Structure 1
Amino acid sequence: MQADRSGRPAPPPSLVAALASEPRLVAKHPALGDFLRSRWADAAFMTAAGMAEATGLPTTTLIRLLALLGFPSFRSFRDAMRAQLRSR
């Protein structure tokens, strides 16, 4: 997790926080919500397979969950995470 200027962990941006607390996600796959809350910045540079491994999900399940959350592809999700990093 990134740290703010005081050295405390910075909270995830609002997009990530919203995704991490999405009821459809939290109910079935809390590991993905946990990953987004704690390592969201890492997601901007991961492959789908790497993120799936980090969350303990099969890659196809990860892709389906991201589609459920409104991302038509893993690349669109990763691009959104990169945009969040640039906006900070």
Structure 2
Amino acid sequence: GDEFVAFITVPSREWATDKARSLIQELHHEFSDQSARWKTSASIGIAFAPEDGKIFDVLYQNSDKALYHAKEKGKDGFALFGDK
């Protein structure tokens, strides 16, 4: 799969979780052509600065850990770093 990183200012953790749910819903699609069908989905890992890291490398590593936690729970999900 493809991975990308976005650094954005968020007003609250609740806003971030609402945005993650919205993005997952928008990216969940089924496509088909004459010979094949395929689906897209998204898994999202979220880390917050400064509590989860103050430099890029740490934030990236922590969001990646959250991403893999989200993937362990199944497709089309998200996780916040540090959540169980």
* TM-score w.r.t. length of structure 2: 0.29
Whichever structure has more strand as a proportion of its residues is: 2
Q: Normalization by structure 1: what TM-score?
A: 0.28
Higher Cα radius of gyration: 2
Give the structure with the higher percent helix: 1
